[in-house]
Amino acid sequence: MVLPDRYTLYLPTERETADMAQGSVQFIGTATVLLRYAGFTILTDPNFLHQGELAHLGYGIYTTRQTNPALELHQLPPIDFVLLSHFHEDHFDRRVVRELDRAIPIITTPQAALALRRRCFAATQALATWETLTLHKGLSMLRVTSLPARHGPALIWRALPQTMGSMLEFMDQDGQVLLRVYISGDTLWYAQLQTIAQHYPHIDLALLHLGGTRLMGILVTMDARQGLETLESINAHKTIPIHYNDYAAFKSPLHHFEQLVTLSGLQERVVYLHHGDKYTFEVLEKQER
C-alpha cells in the first residue's frame, strides 16, 4: 500500500499557462533524461562525464564512459527538480557535484540524500520505499512515489547503494491524474516489482534502466531478458529503454532487448531513443486511471 503523503513542496511558477495536452522526454545519455510536462521540467540521474572519463562505482571499481552526453550541464533549461535513483557516479558525477545549483530540489533515497547534504546540497528530499512527495507549481500538481528497486542479487545488494524506482503522477488542479510515468531506477527484476502493476494498473510511460551492468562479473542492472520481463509486468502504454550503452560495465546491448521485444510481438509498445532524441507524447485528459 502507498504510504500517506508526508511531504509537500511548492515550486516557483511562471505566469504562462502550463501545457497539459503535450509533453516530451529527451534522452541525454545513461539514465539522464529531461522530462517536461504540465509546466514541470525534471532532470533524472544527471551524468555529464565525457567519453574516456572514468566513473567510480565504489570499492575501488571504475568504469570508462563510451559516449558523450547529448547536452552539457550548462546547456540545460531551468530545472524544477532532480530525480535521482541512487548515488553512483554514473548517475550523479563529480562534474555535477561541482556545477549543479545546490538550491535545486533533489528527490532521492535517504542514503543518497545524506551523501548530498554532506556535499552542501541544501534541498534534498529523501523518500523511503512507498513514501510520497507532492509538488505544486501553479495550478499543476505532481505526486512522486518511491518504488521498490534492488541494485543487485540477494546476496550482495545491501553492499551497493540504496536505490529506488519512481512513479510520477501529474495531476490537474482538481487532483485528477493526467499522466503516469514509471522510472525503474537501477534494479534487477525481482518479485517486488510485480507489486507496482498491482498498485498502478494504468501506466502511460515507462523508462527502463537496462544495460546488463556487471560488477566483478555479477549482474546488477537489468539485461535484455529481465528488461522484457519488466516490460511485460509493468504493461505501460509506451516504454523507453535507457541506460544501455554508455559505460564499459554495460554488457547487454540494446539490440538484444530489441530482438526479444520483436520476438514477443511487443514492438509497438516500445520507443527507442538515441542520445539527443526527443519523444513527444499527447495526453488525453479523460482516460480512466
Average pLDDT, the chain: 93
* Structure confidence by residue, pLDDT tens digits, 23-60: 999 999 999 999 999 999 999 999 999 999 999 988 78
Residue type, 19: D
Nearest to 157 by CA among 117, 181, 185: 185
What ranges do the domains of the chain cover? 20-273
Q: Cα separation of 144 and 223, whole Å?
A: 26
Residue 286's pLDDT band, with cuts at 50, 70 and 90, is: low
In this predicted structure, which of 19-23, 106-110, 114-118, 151-155 has the lowest mean pLDDT? 151-155
More confident call, 282 vs 14: 282
In the numeric block, the cell 485528477 is attached to: 176
* Structure confidence by residue, pLDDT tens digits, 244-260: 999 999 999 999 999 99
* Structure confidence by residue, pLDDT tens digits, 63-112: 999 999 999 999 999 999 999 999 999 999 999 999 999 999 999 999 99
No. of helices (H) and no. of strands (E), the chain: 5, 18
The secondary element (H helix, E strand) that includes residue 77 is: none
How buried is 46 (Cβ within 10 angstroms: 0-12 exposed, 13-18 middle, 19+ buried)? buried
Q: For 20-273, which CATH class? A: alpha beta
Helix (H, G, I), strand (E, B) or coil at 108: strand
Judged against a pLDDT cut of 70, whether residue 6 lies above it is answered with no
Question: Helices 224-234 and 254-263 sit at what angle, rounded to 10 degrees?
Answer: 50
Confidence (pTM): 0.95
Q: What is the mean pLDDT of residues 177-183?
A: 97
CB atoms within 10 A of CB 48: 25
Q: What is the mean pLDDT of residues 234-242?
A: 97
